[in-house]
Amino acid sequence: MNFYGSACSFLVMALLMGGCKMERSESQAIKVATYNLRCPADDGDLQWEKRSPRQAKIIRDNKLDIIGIQEGVAFQLDKLISLLPGYKYVGEGRDDGKAAGEFSAIIYNQDKVEVLEHETFALCLTPEVFGSKSWGAAYPRICTWALLRDKKSGKQFFFANTHLDNASEQARIEGSKMVINRLSKLREGTPIIFSGDFNQNTKSDVYKIITGMLDDSGSISETPHKGAGYSFTAYGKRTPPPELAWRMQIDFIFVSHGVKVLSHETIDSRVDGHYSSDHCPVAAEIVLP
């Protein structure tokens, strides 16, 4: 065989091997998301009874396996789960550590993963006292984490989810430090995924604190970001120019080093002409190490 024939044979083999590797990665992928559901405070076409089917459709159509939600209260979560056969959630309400107040719950596809353990703690000086606030926070804030097992690969990983304060910069900074500190003390070597509405963008101190330990999934995605460059839209009423879009990118998915990110997307589609929330969900396809 001449040089060109050998080269062609090598190229074909490399492409085939690369294709097999890509197919294997995609088959092992888990699609995770962060989704601020918006509390049930709106009327008309934006009332919760009309928005819940839209949110369920977005989760189904985009085949989301694990979703960290913000602002949802107990009856919203129960309604959403009723529209999503095969899904469950873990988490507690921020007001009493049970069912009162907003959740930072983790919704998951039972066919894809199982929950091994989970915990919710308050982001304040007394993390065991739900309903309490510190550092000038406007509302009580919490974080929920779960140890999950991928049913296909058997691999275990942590998924954490939060919603940082909307009013106090100090509360956001101290809250992010608390979560990072907790995550750093979880089982060493186990991958971590951390989702949330952080009420801060990529130029903030909060972002710097978190990326000191974790990677922003959007910045390490193997394929270009899809969708809008911002996640907060106020039901589509706010559309910043491209050069200012980063200011309204406040919903993130962070991953520990070694987690592969195949794709990253802001799901900015409408359902029946309407947005499902004042935030767009942000999703990432990840592969555990």
Q: What angle do CA 68, 100, 148 make, to 5 degrees?
A: 30
Structure tokens of 176? Answer: 């992010």
| CB crowding 35-66: b at 16 or more within 10 Å, else e | bbbbebeeeeebebebbbebbbbbbeebebbb
On the CB side of 282, CA atoms within 13 Å amount to 27
Q: What percent of the chain has pLDDT over 70?
A: 91
pLDDT at 17 over 80: no
Question: What is the tens place of the pLDDT at every residue in 194-247?
Answer: 999 999 999 999 999 999 999 999 999 999 999 999 999 999 998 888 888 888
Q: Is the pLDDT confidence value at 5 over 90?
A: no
The mean pLDDT of 48-63, rounded to a whole number, is 98
Residue 129 domain boundaries: 29-287
Is 165 domain-assigned? yes
Q: Which of 25-29, 230-234, 260-264 has the lowest mean pLDDT?
A: 25-29
pLDDT of residue 145: 98
Question: 4 lies in a domain?
Answer: no
> pLDDT value at position 242?
85
What is the Rg, in whole angstroms, of the alpha carbon atoms belonging to the chain?
20
Asked whether residue 7 is assigned to any structural domain, the reply reads: no
Question: Which of these, 256, 201, 254, lies nearest to 231 by C-alpha position?
Answer: 201
Confirm whether 19 is domain-assigned.
no
Task: State which amino acid sits at residue 247.
Answer: R
| Residue 246 DSSP code | G
Show the beta-strand stretches assigned E in the chain: 30-36, 66-70, 87-90, 106-109, 113-122, 142-150, 156-163, 192-197, 215-216, 251-255, 260-266, 282-287
Residue 259 lies in a domain: yes
Q: Residue 69: give its domain's CATH number.
A: 3.60.10.10
Residue recorded with tokens 């500190």: 181
Closest CA to 274 of 34, 42, 32, 39: 42
**Structural domain count, the chain:** 1
What confidence tens digit (pLDDT) does each residue in 78-126 have?
A: 999 999 999 999 999 999 999 999 999 999 999 999 999 999 999 999 9
* Burial environment of residue 70 by CB neighbours within 10 A (0 to 12, 13 to 18, 19 or more): buried
Tokens coding 190: 């186990």
CA distances from 63 to 14, 28, 104, 217, 278 (A): 31, 14, 20, 18, 21
pLDDT at 24: 54
**Which is higher by pLDDT, 3 or 48?**
48
Tokens in use for 92? 């507690």
Query: pLDDT class for 8, splitting at 50, 70, 90?
Result: very low
CA 62, 103, 126, 137 torsion: positive or negative?
A: positive
pLDDT for 27 equals 79
In a domain, 73, yes or no: yes
pLDDT reported for residue 191? 98
Domain contains 10:
no
Q: What is the spatial distance between Cα 186 and Cα 171, in angstroms, rounded to a whole number?
A: 23
Let me know if residue 8 belongs to a domain. no
Half-sphere exposure of 207 (CA within 13 A, CB side): 18
Whether the Cβ atoms of residue 97 and residue 127 lie closer than 8 Å to each other = no
Whole-angstrom Cα distance, residue 19 to residue 21? 5
Instruction: Look up residue 143 and give its amino acid.
Output: C
